[in-house]
């Protein structure tokens, strides 16, 4: 393994694009304190000074300064840990200069696991915009109230209760004795398994992807569950519900009687990344496809992701293959260099507003309630404990695949972007995660 300072394969920095043009162009715990949490403005400032700071700190035009060389030397040694196995892709970039400080098989495409959510989030924010909200509606027609799903993965029982109150008021004012209840989740096609998904995923990893869900619960039929919650809340409001909840499509002539707007997409993105929520990711992929004028399918959603990353941001799609939005697919392949290039967009001040929620949604080492929290045994070894509160990164875990990619301010005071992806190690997954945490602490410099 050796350090590298080549800039080949780096993304080109494009001009920002308005929301309207973006849509035409393509067709959303206990906090850990520390300097890291001031990241958004600091990242932008770091990137904006690269023209002067790089010259001052570099030994040569393309060389490594002493602090960077120490990172590279330590990674050369520590990345040989047998916990990483034989299939390991890693890279470290300096955010201000975009210089590659260290790399090992950085262009080798491996299963990224949930690191794929970074691509999904970037595309969604670019196409939809961070302030976008998803709408859940209730309409009435021909004796039936229809609850219409709009892709809100954060819809709660309390939200449905408010919809039921509004609908009940309409029913009573119309003098109706009873109503039928129907759910309409036709925004998405009938759920299918993605390429590379196992049948067992529906047991505990993800629900069949539908446009209507309440309380984010895993379920074989989230839409029907939501309809039953709605029916119960209506009954609690004194409305007689006639028969069982059915599935169908609302008529264009049905009368609106209630609607609920979700939290912003920015808030949804943050929730997805902090907890690595697979259901949010898959719904987000479909809503991005719809906003781009495409069908709500895995194929069209991932095509939009590739288009956004390559054409909007200049990220190389070489060796990039994704078949879902969550990274559950065992057919997904992304090189560490590409993941780092996506994260490096967060350090560009031109994208600070658009992509800020990705930066804010990355789990922070030691942050309870996130996938890097102590409840998951992360950053709790003698080598990595020093990086608690100093590293923020997206985790990724599948059988045979573990990833950690993020940002940290190194000992030289400059932001570093890193991506480490391991596949097929025979070591205990907990030991592999500890090793990756140690590599992140190495980039930070606290494990010197």
What was the pLDDT predicted at 48? 54
Average pLDDT over residues 263-289: 98
Average pLDDT over residues 319-343: 98
More confident residue, 107 or 4: 107
Tens of pLDDT, residue by residue over 224-256, are 999 999 999 999 999 999 999 999 999 999 999
Distance between CA 180 and CA 243 in Å, rounded?
A: 7
* Contact by Cβ (8 Å): 337, 249: no
Nearest by Cα to 279 from 195, 287, 322: 287
* Contact by Cβ (8 Å): 440, 404: yes
What tokens does 37 get? Answer: 């949490």
Distance between CA 146 and CA 20 in Å, rounded?
A: 31
What was the pLDDT predicted at 177? 83
Distance between CA 223 and CA 213 in Å, rounded?
A: 5
pLDDT band at 44 (very low <50, low <70, confident <90, very high): low
Does residue 14 surpass a pLDDT of 90? no
Burial letters 234-270, b for 16+ CB under 10 A, else e: beebebebeeebeeeebeeebeebbebebbbbbbbbb
pLDDT band at 203 (very low <50, low <70, confident <90, very high): confident
What tokens does 70 get? Answer: 């120490």
| Mean pLDDT (the chain, rounded) | 89
Low-confidence winner among 1-5, 274-278, 334-338 (lowest mean pLDDT): 1-5
Tens of pLDDT, residue by residue over 113-156, are 999 999 999 999 999 999 999 999 999 999 999 999 999 999 99
What was the pLDDT predicted at 173? 92
Does residue 34 surpass a pLDDT of 90? no
Distance between CA 271 and CA 360 in Å, rounded?
A: 10
What was the pLDDT predicted at 42? 55
Does residue 54 surpass a pLDDT of 70? no
What was the pLDDT predicted at 46? 57
What was the pLDDT predicted at 41? 46
Other Cβ atoms closer than 10 A to 116: 31
């Amino acid at each position: 393994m050796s350090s590298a300072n080549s800039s080949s394969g780096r993304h080109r920095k494009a001009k920002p694009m308005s929301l309207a043009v973006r849509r035409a162009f393509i067709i959303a715990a206990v906090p850990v304190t520390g300097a890291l949490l001031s990241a958004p403005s600091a990242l932008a400032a770091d990137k904006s000074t690269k023209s002067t700071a790089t010259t001052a700190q570099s030994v040569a035009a393309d060389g490594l300064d002493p602090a960077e060389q120490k990172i590279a030397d330590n990674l050369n040694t520590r990345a040989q840990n047998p916990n990483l196995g034989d299939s390991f892709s890693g890279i470290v970039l300096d955010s201000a200069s975009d210089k590659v400080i260290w790399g090992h098989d950085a262009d080798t495409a491996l299963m990224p696991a949930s690191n794929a959510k970074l691509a999904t989030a970037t595309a969604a924010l670019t196409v939809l915009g961070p302030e976008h909200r998803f709408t859940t509606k209730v309409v009435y027609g021909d004796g039936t109230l229809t609850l219409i799903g709009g892709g809100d993965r954060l819809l709660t029982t309390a939200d449905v209760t408010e919809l039921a109150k509004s609908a009940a008021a309409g029913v009573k004012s119309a003098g109706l004795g009873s109503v039928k209840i129907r759910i309409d989740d036709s925004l998405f096609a009938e759920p299918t398994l993605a390429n590379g998904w196992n049948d067992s995923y529906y047991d505990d990893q993800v629900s069949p992807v539908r446009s209507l869900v309440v309380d984010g619960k895993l379920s074989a039929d989230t839409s029907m569950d939501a309809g039953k919650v709605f029916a119960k809340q209506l009954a609690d409001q004194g409305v007689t519900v006639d028969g069982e909840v059915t599935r169908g499509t609302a008529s264009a002539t049905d009368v609106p009687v209630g609607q609920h707007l979700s939290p912003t997409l920015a808030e949804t993105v943050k929730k997805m990344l902090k907890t690595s929520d697979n259901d949010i990711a898959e719904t987000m992929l479909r809503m991005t496809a719809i906003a781009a004028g495409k069908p709500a399918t895995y194929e069209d959603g991932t095509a939009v992701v590739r288009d956004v990353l390559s054409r909007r941001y200049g990220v190389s799609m070489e060796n990039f293959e994704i078949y879902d939005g969550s990274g559950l697919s065992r057919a997904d392949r992304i090189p560490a260099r590409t993941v780092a290039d996506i994260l490096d967009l967060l350090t560009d001040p031109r994208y600070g507003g658009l992509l800020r929620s990705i930066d804010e949604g990355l789990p922070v080492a030691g942050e309870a309630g996130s996938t890097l929290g102590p409840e998951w045994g992360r950053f709790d070894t003698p080598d990595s404990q020093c990086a608690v509160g100093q590293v923020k990164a997206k985790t990724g875990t599948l059988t045979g695949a573990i990833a950690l990619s993020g940002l940290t301010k190194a000992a030289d005071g400059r932001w570093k972007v890193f991506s480490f992806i391991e596949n097929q190690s025979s070591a205990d997954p907990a030991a592999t995660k500890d090793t990756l945490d140690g590599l992140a602490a190495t980039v930070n410099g606290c494990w010197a």
